[in-house]
């Protein structure tokens, strides 16, 4: 039987009612006691790295989770992390960068309802996560939720209440779990390089979501205080004229002389950016050699930049090249992307 390590972090799955609202309280052992069938699937040990609502997850918690996997990597065949759903997509993306080329599966799951509720998705999600983690062909970081497997860099929480909370963005489901078995749609490609753990995440990054009529006065402040700014633009990507003058002013000062990073992303969840289509995007992109997020999720874009900025002495050109290097299927290249 495979040996799987369960790593508890809190979230609704482990929550109980209190006078202040739902709050995580159940330990990993208590969670397991609700799903005795797991014992038929694999041998499980469990540890608890924290017990928090995932609203409170920060990069320091990702380091704790990655360390729990790293410290136990040789002892187990796979890992199941129980996590709140609110920031689960960020954690799955962050761990995809912090733990690369893992031939052992690292499965992240959670639930929309506490495991102690009469009606809950928690028991199914937990059991199916163990089934997937114990499968011979599973590897790398993935989410198992509502019967579907989602690549760690491709998830987005799109529903606040329903059991099908997560959608896979711009990438197919590699597998589903049905009738207690894994049905794989995408064959597993074995890694050539050994597993690699990264320990730093630089969180000096700000996401600016554009709205119609946005005023430019915030730009100098952002450029002064953050190493990286992600602009969440409209459609395939562009910069509104209200921002252009100030943007050129701060970009000249900060990007050229102080090595700040600016990445263009889009508010449109599906199909990704292409700044070269419209005049509002094409010029600014070429004037400043901007990086763009293309088909990546926002969660992957943000956490990939945190990982890249955490690497020692990276120049802008290195960051750009590595940003455009695929990790755990996070970015797909097409011939519309000439800068890659
Ligand atoms: N607020 C909870 C959390 O993210 C929601 C959930 O787990 O579904 O921890």
Q: Which residues are catalytic?
A: 12
- pLDDT digit string, tens, across residues 288-307: 888 999 999 999 999 999 99
> Rounded to an integer, what distance in angstroms lies between the CA atom of residue 243 and that of residue 251?
12
Please give the span between the terminal C-alpha atoms of the chain, in angstroms, as a whole number.
44
**Closest residue CA from atom 3 of ligand 1:** 84
Of 93, 114, 129, 113, which Cα lies nearest the Cα of 7? Answer: 129
Model confidence at 335, in pLDDT bands (50, 70, 90)? low
CA distances from 332 to 124, 295, 303, 312 (A): 32, 7, 17, 26
Cα(143) to centroid(ligand 1), Å:
15
In 3D space, the residue among 36, 175, 50, 165 whose CA is nearest the CA of residue 105 turns out to be: 175
Longest dimension (CA), the chain: 64
Q: Which of 9, 15, 113 to mutate for ligand 1's pocket (most ligand atoms within 8 Å of CB)?
A: 15
d(CA 28, CA 14): 8
CA of 93 to the centre of ligand 1 (A): 17
Mutate to test the pocket of ligand 1, among 20, 51, 54, 91 (most ligand atoms within 8 A of CB): 54
- Nearest atom within ligand 1 for CA of residue 165: 8
pTM: predicted TM-score of the whole model, two decimal places: 0.96
Which atom from ligand 1 is nearest to the alpha carbon of 52?
Answer: 9
Q: For the segment 139-177, what is each residue's pLDDT rounded down to a tens digit?
A: 999 999 999 999 999 999 999 999 999 999 999 999 999
Ligand 1 centroid to residue 84 C-alpha, Å: 4
Task: Tell me the CA–centroid distance for residue 114 and ligand 1, in Å.
Answer: 10
**For 88-138, what is each residue's pLDDT tens digit?**
999 999 999 999 999 999 999 999 999 999 999 999 999 999 999 999 999
**Is the pLDDT at 334 greater than 70, yes or no?**
no
Quote the ligand 1 centre to 159 CA distance (angstroms). Answer: 12
DSSP, collapsed to helix, strand or coil, labels residue 51 as strand
- Whether 258 shows a pLDDT value over 80: the answer reads no
Q: Point out the ligand 1 atom lying closest to the alpha carbon of residue 88.
A: 4
Which atom of ligand 1 lies at the shortest distance from residue 112's CA? 8
- pLDDT reported for residue 91: 98
Identify the structural domains of the chain with CATH numbers, from first to last: 3-197 (3.40.50.1170), 205-323 (3.40.50.40)
| Ligand 1 neighbours by CB, cut-off 6 Å | 11-12, 53-55, 84-86, 110, 112
Alpha-carbon distance of 103 to 2, in angstroms, equals 14
Task: Name the token pair of 293.
Answer: 């997020």
More confident residue, 259 or 24: 24
Q: Which atom of ligand 1 is nearest to the CA of 13?
A: 7
Ligand 1 pocket test target in 18, 26, 57, 85 with most atoms within 8 Å of CB: 85
**CA 293 to ligand 1 centroid distance, Å:** 27
């Amino acid at each position: 039987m495979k040996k799987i390590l369960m790593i508890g972090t809190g979230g609704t799955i482990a929550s109980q009612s209190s006078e202040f609202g739902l709050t995580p309280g159940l330990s990993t052992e208590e969670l397991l006691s609700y799903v005795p069938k797991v014992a038929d699937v694999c041998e499980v040990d469990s540890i608890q790295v924290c017990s928090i609502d995932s609203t409170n997850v920060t990069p320091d918690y990702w380091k704790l989770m990655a360390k729990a996997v790293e410290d136990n990597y040789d002892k187990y065949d796979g890992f199941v992390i129980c996590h709140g759903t609110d920031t689960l997509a960020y954690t799955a993306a962050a761990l995809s960068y912090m733990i690369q080329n893992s031939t052992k599966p690292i499965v992240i799951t959670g639930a929309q309802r506490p495991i102690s509720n009469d009606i809950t998705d928690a028991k199914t999600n937990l059991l199916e996560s163990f089934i997937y983690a114990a499968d011979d062909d599973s590897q790398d970081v993935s989410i198992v939720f509502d019967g579907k497997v989602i690549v760690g860099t491709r998830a987005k929480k799109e529903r606040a209440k329903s059991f099908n909370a997560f959608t896979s963005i711009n990438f197919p489901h590699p597998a589903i779990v049905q009738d207690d078995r894994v049905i794989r749609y995408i064959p597993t490609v074995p890694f050539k390089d050994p597993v690699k753990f990264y320990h730093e995440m630089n969180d000096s990054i700000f996401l600016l979501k554009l709205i119609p009529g946005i005023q430019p006065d915030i730009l100098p402040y952002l450029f002064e205080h953050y190493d990286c700014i992600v602009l969440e633009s409209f459609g395939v990507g562009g910069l509104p004229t209200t921002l252009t003058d100030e943007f050129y002013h701060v970009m000249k000062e900060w990007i050229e002389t102080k090595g700040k990073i600016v990445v263009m992303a889009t508010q449109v969840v599906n199909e990704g950016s292409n700044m070269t289509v419209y005049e509002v995007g094409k010029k600014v992109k070429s004037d400043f050699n901007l990086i763009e997020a293309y088909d990546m999720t926002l969660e992957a874009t943000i956490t990939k930049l945190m990982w890249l900025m955490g690497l020692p002495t990276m120049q802008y050109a290195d960051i750009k090249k590595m940003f455009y290097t695929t990790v755990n299927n996070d970015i797909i290249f097409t011939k519309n992307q000439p800068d890659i």
